[in-house]
Structure 1
């Protein structure tokens, strides 16, 4: 007999008598999708510019993504927020980023509703919506959608992926990760990668394998149950890590430089119909040096950095292809709605010259060209943390001007592909309708015939801000329903309305022209001046790449759009406008525990991200381990932080107690005992006493005296001429091991301590010295 079911929340449909023989059972109906509902796969690339996919005219090879465009639709008018976390919040909620409290990345959160970094629970996630309609929900890769102070094992966990409607998660919580040694979280706990780089490990194939596993796990029980897979690889965000053979495919292909790349890409874009035939290529950016002005060695290094990036992109495309092949194999590809997008334009965090190790950039310690050249053959490998120079950033956003973090089209216009053979008749066509990331959730719900929920987990839901573009799938002439969209990112503002675009750049059209750096604050008086004089106007319907500023001759239209920007700003919580970086970085934010000067750790516990780890830089501090050494000796890490890119480790090897400080991978400063640590229970202690002031601007942390003690007896001392000035990134702080990439080549990770380690205590004293400017650049680079 069929099971009698009733809708949860409705009246019981069975019969309740005095006993079961005169009663009839009924069951709450489990959630189930409408038969035949498509799977939903969103693929979110990171820092991939408009001109970097093959189907958007790039000479880089992305055959599997090109195949999605050929079998579906390519949109040439999709818009993002110009920054990572804000864009990702729009993709997953269908609401604007300030309404999501994601004005910027959460590391720059401030105490205003649009800026505090806590996405309101009334802004439900697509995962939460589809979960209630019978979908399995999976999140793979980059999250970065919660305050960084909540990334620790102390939680709270309600804003982790499993707290926001995803049933399974495998990836990383912050803004970036080492592709060879990722800082992995599986569901709600940290895990180590299943293999090493020497064994062939790379993060992107691991993500693909886990995506296939998650789907297979459910399909063996419920083959007809649809899934929502949010696939967010770390690519192509720095570090640009890829097996060498992928980079070597591009040997010599970028030797002509970034201007040549733009010309080739722009011509391809016109041929493919990705840009209008009458489009004009934007100007040479004043912040980008002319290719021919570089020395031969500088050109050789820059070209190799681009070869590595290109290999990274092609490798990612290959792994996406493996996922698509799997969907084809299980018969799900045709009825899977696939949307591919990037979160913002190409990234400029590599600086004018690029870097072989971003930790040097974060710490104001860029290496000279001759040092970079020594690592040219290692770029992309496990010993580097590399990022390309501004010239390739600018070229990657062809035909537009500028880049990520800025609301010109180079930062806010991105690739967008839609593929759904079972639901879309058109193949290989370009769609020109205006769209924004907030339109993705409404489109999915429209296709599935699902109304936005009134409540989720008892929380009344806010209205969606986007509109569906499903009506454009089979009608290239359909009107754009998204008519108005504001932009604001770190004081850089813009607004689109009915084919017109107004932009108010901050600190200016370029750093060279503004003569002010990124992160310059905006006063109320300055904002009034900007509103009166600095807005630019473009007729995008006739000027695709923002090349002709019409603000002087079309003053009425300019004023109209400025006024409309303020209307939208009031509607979505954009105010107060904040162009600062240092002040935002230095903002005191709510913490899950009070500040203290003593921290106690135990082995086996999870690593701590920098946001909650004790700050040991530029101040007197000690690290004390309570250990028991067996009669046959012991070795391993007592406490560590960071990686080969920079960090420190307190350990025993060959019986000797050792502390090493890795200064931005440029030098290893070590203090070590000459005699082995005796067996028995001991207090092992490292102390650092600064002997001078740090020179943060020059990339030099405080010099100091490094001392080792065993049971309060001084056993070794050394002078460190310099230490890390600002931060360790990547790598958490870990007790009893050095997971991931080792801080020093003196041992292989994880080098767990083999004796009995009871506790490690880090004690801090003295004033904490910080460099908010460098910290800001680090956080921005991790978006």
Structure 2
């Protein structure tokens, strides 16, 4: 029988029915007297040198101010990808022990890759909430398996069920900043048809964060709070506001080679790097993927500079959001007793390729080979880069600048993938004698939750949902804040898609992905002396073979302890998914004018397969509007009726195709859109009215990977439009002038190009038992 009990919420006391199937909540205590507020500002895909305190030229005055009065960590490392870093940040566990050896898109059936936070791992929010804190989260979550993001999913891994009182943001790994594909408030999707002109997600998130603080203070003047602000920026698609982009016009015409040298010089000058540090030369720093700026044409230089202008503007906007929060805390008189952390979740990314892309989704999130003539970058005006009309990613040359002075990029276990900026500020602690300044101790992301709890005076939860809590891997850094000579951590393993690394006592071993199984510590290992060579320019493995073997063996031990295996040694591990996801690809009936079907749920009906869309409609007088839309400016399709008749629009990653048919006569009709697979990842689209073909679009690139990104909307085109011309005239263009009775999606068989492996793990276990 369900037990009835209360819990504290905003605006009074609410009631909750508790049963075995409902979320478990620990009892709250009162926060320690004088407990500090905590603000954690996490930035997505930000490189080590992008912020002013770390050598960057981008304007970040508010972060600069924190650094001048707080602590700048020059030897902070994180996981090579975002979800693993976030899981470690919130639990204090190493990424694989926290269930995230990879981003929250696959579940191949192994403990280190569940992409769900463990039930026996209390989050920072859960411990602080039990300790008397209000707990708020805005922005990117990315800690729920994508197949459990839809509205009927088990929400046990959603933010409110993992310790947050309030949540607002995008739970996916990224979204459009001008037209978010999906926003969630607490446990429900935000029902909005279209966004006003000038809408920008970073501003919205900041508004929501300030509102949460104000609503708390209106009801409780003393309760401390945790604000976990996880920016969706500067993850692709990289976007910014026009005014901020104009501010950086012309700043990057000198090119990436010079900018990298200038950032490196500032890092040495400011003591971020030792005076004898070496900037890795092209031979080991991806020079084969990065053309020299002086060798580019004038048009190429203008295009590539625009990409970086937008990136810089986006970083600037993050700093502006921090400034608004700092100003608000000042007005409340709470700035001095607020601990603020600003950090990145991994290094800058090379996803954009050597030339960058204005068609981000065309080459993102796809397993397997693409045809030789596949879409790479649909040319469009460079002034559209950063705006709502295209989804872009900056070129590899700028990513290397972001990661100055290190080698490689996001998802790599070289320093460019894992060495990230970290700034910590707490004026009250400085006033009490903790000297601010540079800290060069080795710190890992798992250390942050234990540190925050220690500084807040809140013990970590010893149990969760009746089970003993896992022992955290991280340790508190409170002593490091007080004493620049206090020791940092000695060791940490790293792994990402088979790439391996081990840091121990100032040395680092790195191994590329194994080409085949070579034993738990097998393969070729490079060794670097990080004290003498922090930028990994001199491999000393041949000189120290015994050390190489020792580090490889230590990695093996740590890997077994942290559930790292199996390694992705044949490229199929993350193509494997649970067979339970197959039901998401069953035919579905969608009513009109509801919030869009969630992204992954929608994609299961269409991606890498043929499909049929049946639209039942009664046409009245002057029919007009969108009947069904799926996708956005990054790629999508729609069926509509306007004054000229039937319209089918297809957006192939920015290349538009349209076909028209006659105006349907008054009365009942069935309109059918067929997407039939052709060779080389193409579709042919035909639209029929009552069995008669009215429109045809032949041989267009399939939408795959992360496209269509915005889910299916019926009766209007939600958010980021598929067809910009239609949007300019009609906005979301809700259907009127008839009765749109519903839409049915009928998925066809999976394409031979679909390398997804569906495995029924439960059946396999049962078979073994027999």
C-alpha deviations, 1:71-130, integer Å up to 9, x for none? Answer: 111000111011010001011110011001110112243111111212211111111111
The offset of 1:725, in angstroms, is: 4.8
The offset of 1:212, in angstroms, is: 0.2
The offset of 1:738, in angstroms, is: 1.5
| Secondary structure, aligned partner of 2:83 | helix
The offset of 1:29, in angstroms, is: 9.2
Q: Does 1:300 align with 2:302?
A: yes
Q: Does 1:435 align with 2:443?
A: yes
C-alpha deviations, 1:376-425, integer Å up to 9, x for none? Answer: 11111111211111111111111111111001111001000100011234
Say if 1:368 and 1:626 are closer, same or farther in 2 by CA, change over 3 A.
closer
Corresponding residue for residue 470 of structure 1:
478
TM value normalised by structure 2: 0.88
The offset of 1:715, in angstroms, is: 5.6
C-alpha contact 1:646 1:729 (8 A) present in aligned 2: yes
Question: Which of 748, 753, 758 is residue 735 of structure 2 equivalent to?
Answer: 753
| Secondary structure, aligned partner of 2:249 | coil
Q: How many Å separate the matches in 2 of 1:579 and 1:61?
A: 42
Q: Does 1:687 align with 2:680?
A: no
Corresponding residue for residue 361 of structure 2:
359
The offset of 1:357, in angstroms, is: 2.1
Alignment: residue pair count: 714
C-alpha contact 2:90 2:449 (8 A) present in aligned 1: yes
Q: How many Å separate the matches in 2 of 1:666 and 1:255?
A: 28
The offset of 1:593, in angstroms, is: 6.3
Corresponding residue for residue 568 of structure 2:
578
Question: Which of 616, 620, 641 is residue 652 of structure 1 equivalent to?
Answer: 641
Q: Does 1:707 align with 2:687?
A: yes
| Secondary structure, aligned partner of 1:682 | strand
Corresponding residue for residue 642 of structure 1:
631
C-alpha contact 2:49 2:404 (8 A) present in aligned 1: yes
| Secondary structure, aligned partner of 1:266 | helix
The offset of 1:572, in angstroms, is: 0.8
Q: Does 1:568 align with 2:558?
A: yes
Structure 1 segment 146-545 matched on structure 2, within 5 A: 146-182=144-180, 183-191=182-190, 196=195, 198=197, 200-284=198-282, 285=285, 286=287, 287-362=289-364, 372=379, 374-424=380-430, 425-426=433-434, 429-480=437-488, 482-506=489-513, 522-525=515-518, 531-532=522-523, 534-545=524-535
C-alpha contact 1:197 1:382 (8 A) present in aligned 2: no
C-alpha contact 2:99 2:111 (8 A) present in aligned 1: yes
Say if 1:259 and 1:428 are closer, same or farther in 2 by CA, change over 3 A.
farther
Q: How many Å separate the matches in 1 of 2:675 and 2:248?
A: 47
Q: How many Å separate the matches in 1 of 2:527 and 2:341?
A: 31
Question: Which of 713, 724, 727 is residue 702 of structure 2 equivalent to?
Answer: 724
The offset of 1:638, in angstroms, is: 2.2
| Secondary structure, aligned partner of 1:229 | strand
Question: Which of 629, 650, 654 is residue 661 of structure 1 equivalent to?
Answer: 650
C-alpha contact 2:53 2:67 (8 A) present in aligned 1: yes
C-alpha deviations, 1:165-192, integer Å up to 9, x for none? Answer: 1111110011110000012111112225
Q: How many Å separate the matches in 2 of 1:501 and 1:601?
A: 54
C-alpha contact 1:454 1:460 (8 A) present in aligned 2: yes
Say if 1:143 and 1:617 are closer, same or farther in 2 by CA, change over 3 A.
closer
C-alpha contact 2:304 2:395 (8 A) present in aligned 1: yes
C-alpha contact 2:107 2:577 (8 A) present in aligned 1: no
| Secondary structure, aligned partner of 2:422 | strand
The offset of 1:138, in angstroms, is: 0.6
Say if 1:546 and 1:114 are closer, same or farther in 2 by CA, change over 3 A.
same
Say if 1:618 and 1:105 are closer, same or farther in 2 by CA, change over 3 A.
closer
C-alpha contact 1:149 1:591 (8 A) present in aligned 2: no
| Secondary structure, aligned partner of 1:40 | strand
5+ residue gaps, structure 2: 1-6, 8-25, 757-770
Corresponding residue for residue 96 of structure 2:
98
Q: Does 1:742 align with 2:724?
A: no
Q: How many Å separate the matches in 1 of 2:583 and 2:733?
A: 32
C-alpha contact 1:178 1:730 (8 A) present in aligned 2: no
| Secondary structure, aligned partner of 1:635 | strand
Q: How many Å separate the matches in 2 of 1:587 and 1:273?
A: 46
The offset of 1:730, in angstroms, is: 2.6
Question: Which of 663, 679, 691 is residue 675 of structure 1 equivalent to?
Answer: 663
The offset of 1:569, in angstroms, is: 0.7
| Secondary structure, aligned partner of 1:37 | coil
Question: Which of 587, 592, 614 is residue 624 of structure 1 equivalent to?
Answer: 614
The offset of 1:37, in angstroms, is: 0.3
The offset of 1:661, in angstroms, is: 1.8
C-alpha contact 1:70 1:427 (8 A) present in aligned 2: no
Say if 1:578 and 1:668 are closer, same or farther in 2 by CA, change over 3 A.
same
Say if 1:688 and 1:437 are closer, same or farther in 2 by CA, change over 3 A.
closer
Q: How many Å separate the matches in 2 of 1:688 and 1:413?
A: 45
Q: How many Å separate the matches in 2 of 1:404 and 1:213?
A: 34
Say if 1:401 and 1:110 are closer, same or farther in 2 by CA, change over 3 A.
same
Q: How many Å separate the matches in 1 of 2:210 and 2:186?
A: 16
Say if 1:593 and 1:460 are closer, same or farther in 2 by CA, change over 3 A.
farther
The offset of 1:549, in angstroms, is: 1.1
C-alpha contact 2:92 2:446 (8 A) present in aligned 1: yes
Say if 1:418 and 1:547 are closer, same or farther in 2 by CA, change over 3 A.
same
Say if 1:59 and 1:771 are closer, same or farther in 2 by CA, change over 3 A.
farther
The farther-off stretch of 107-116 and 324-333 is 107-116
C-alpha contact 2:45 2:235 (8 A) present in aligned 1: yes
The offset of 1:741, in angstroms, is: 1.1
Say if 1:735 and 1:707 are closer, same or farther in 2 by CA, change over 3 A.
closer
Say if 1:562 and 1:415 are closer, same or farther in 2 by CA, change over 3 A.
same
The farther-off stretch of 448-457 and 154-163 is 448-457
Q: How many Å separate the matches in 2 of 1:349 and 1:543?
A: 27
Q: How many Å separate the matches in 1 of 2:453 and 2:584?
A: 45
Structure 1 segment 41-52 matched on structure 2, within 5 A: 41-52=39-50
C-alpha contact 2:507 2:528 (8 A) present in aligned 1: yes
Q: How many Å separate the matches in 1 of 2:491 and 2:685?
A: 60
Say if 1:39 and 1:366 are closer, same or farther in 2 by CA, change over 3 A.
farther
Corresponding residue for residue 136 of structure 1:
134
| Secondary structure, aligned partner of 1:545 | coil
C-alpha contact 1:617 1:769 (8 A) present in aligned 2: no
C-alpha contact 2:239 2:386 (8 A) present in aligned 1: yes
| Secondary structure, aligned partner of 1:726 | coil
| Secondary structure, aligned partner of 2:417 | helix
TM value normalised by structure 1: 0.87
Q: How many Å separate the matches in 2 of 1:175 and 1:493?
A: 24
The offset of 1:294, in angstroms, is: 2.1
Corresponding residue for residue 18 of structure 1:
none
C-alpha deviations, 1:512-571, integer Å up to 9, x for none? Answer: xxxxxxxxx74214x57x835x21111111211111111111111111111111111111
C-alpha contact 1:708 1:714 (8 A) present in aligned 2: yes
